[in-house]
A = this chain, B = another copy of it.
Amino acid sequence: MALAEHACTRESAVAARIDVSPCNACPVRSMSVCSALEADELKRLADILVSVKVDAGHTLFAEGDGADTLFNVTAGTMKLYKLLPDGRRQITGFLLPGDFLGLSINDTYAYSAESVTPATLCRFPRRRLEGLLEDYPKMQRRLFAMASSELAAAQDQMLLLGRKNAKERIASFLLMLSERARRRGYAENPVHVPMSRSDIADYLGLTTETVSRTFTQLKTSRAISLLEGGKVRLNDMEILQELAEGA
């Protein structure tokens, strides 16, 4: 698997707050879809990559927009969400470096995407990607595998939203962040929690007040410690695990 960086087409900014730069900031190696690709596949892929930088709180696209672009997060954290007409919001997922957005079959996005922190993404025109998939079935398989594991995560989240109480939700959330950090080779404890209370609430189907109170409870019971800089130390993974699974 190549670690080399690939030069990419520079492109003018597409919106006021989006800064498009060459792809050096976006090594192809960060895209998990590309592992197991051959050199010529990588080369061809690199040709259509464009790196995009956004501030925190930037809306990349909104539910219903034409889905002509596929993104891969290379730095920062993104959130995906759906809204009800009256403004109620459900965050369906947080994306970390390596994750994809816009893997839609339909011609419009099924959710909105917004940055939680300043973020960098790779952009692919979807049309060109599709041509690529025709030629390289391995990539097709990788995409399918990713969709499958997203689906599994979605099912876990349904169990959480439908049947877990507030404490179990928060414990599950922290363990998930910890596990994801571990798998990406970052420090998994203390966990970095870059998102706001209100984002956490909208992800877990709670309110900010309940999220805040539950953090306080877990802190009081010594299960976790709240550190500065949005870090949370998990003092006893096993206790949290039991909590999360509702044992």
The reply on A189 being an interface residue by CB < 8 A is no
Return 22 A-B CB contacts under 8 Å, by A number: A82-B156, A82-B158, A84-B246, A86-B247, A88-B163, A88-B246, A89-B163, A90-B162, A92-B155, A105-B148, A110-B152, A111-B155, A137-B137, A140-B140, A143-B144, A147-B148, A147-B151, A151-B154, A154-B155, A157-B158, A158-B158, A161-B205
Considering the complex of A and B, which 10 residue pairs feature the smallest CB-CB distances, nearest first?
Answer: A162-B205, A161-B161, A154-B154, A147-B147, A90-B159, A105-B148, A90-B162, A88-B163, A84-B246, A92-B155
Cross-interface CB contact of A140 among B84, B141, B155, B157, cutoff 8 Å:
B141
Residues in B neighbouring A140, C-beta threshold 8 A: 137, 140-141, 144
Rounded to whole angstroms, the CA-CA distance of A145 and B246 in the bound complex is 34
B85 and A246 within 8 A (CB): yes
8 other A-B residue contacts (CB within 8 Å) besides A90-B162, A143-B144, A154-B158: A86-B246, A88-B163, A88-B246, A105-B148, A147-B147, A158-B158, A161-B161, A162-B205
Residues in B neighbouring A88, C-beta threshold 8 A: 163-164, 246
The B-contacting residues of A in range 39-95, CB under 8 angstroms, are 80, 82, 84-86, 88-90, 92
Minimal Cβ-Cβ distance residue in B for A147: B147
| Copies of the chain in the assembly | 2
Minimal Cβ-Cβ distance residue in B for A136: B137
A245 and B84 within 8 A (CB): yes
What's the minimum C-beta distance from A102 to chain B, rounded to whole angstroms? 11
* Residues on A facing B (Cβ under 8 Å): 80, 82, 84-86, 88-90, 92, 103-106, 110-111, 133-134, 137, 140-141, 143-145, 147-152, 154-159, 161-164, 202, 204-205, 245-247
Most buried by B among A106, A141, A159: A159
Minimal Cβ-Cβ distance residue in B for A245: B85
Cross-interface CB contact of A247 among B85, B92, B134, B154, cutoff 8 Å:
B85
Residues in B neighbouring A247, C-beta threshold 8 A: 85-86
Residues in B neighbouring A143, C-beta threshold 8 A: 144
Residues in B neighbouring A145, C-beta threshold 8 A: 105
Residues in B neighbouring A163, C-beta threshold 8 A: 84, 88-90, 205
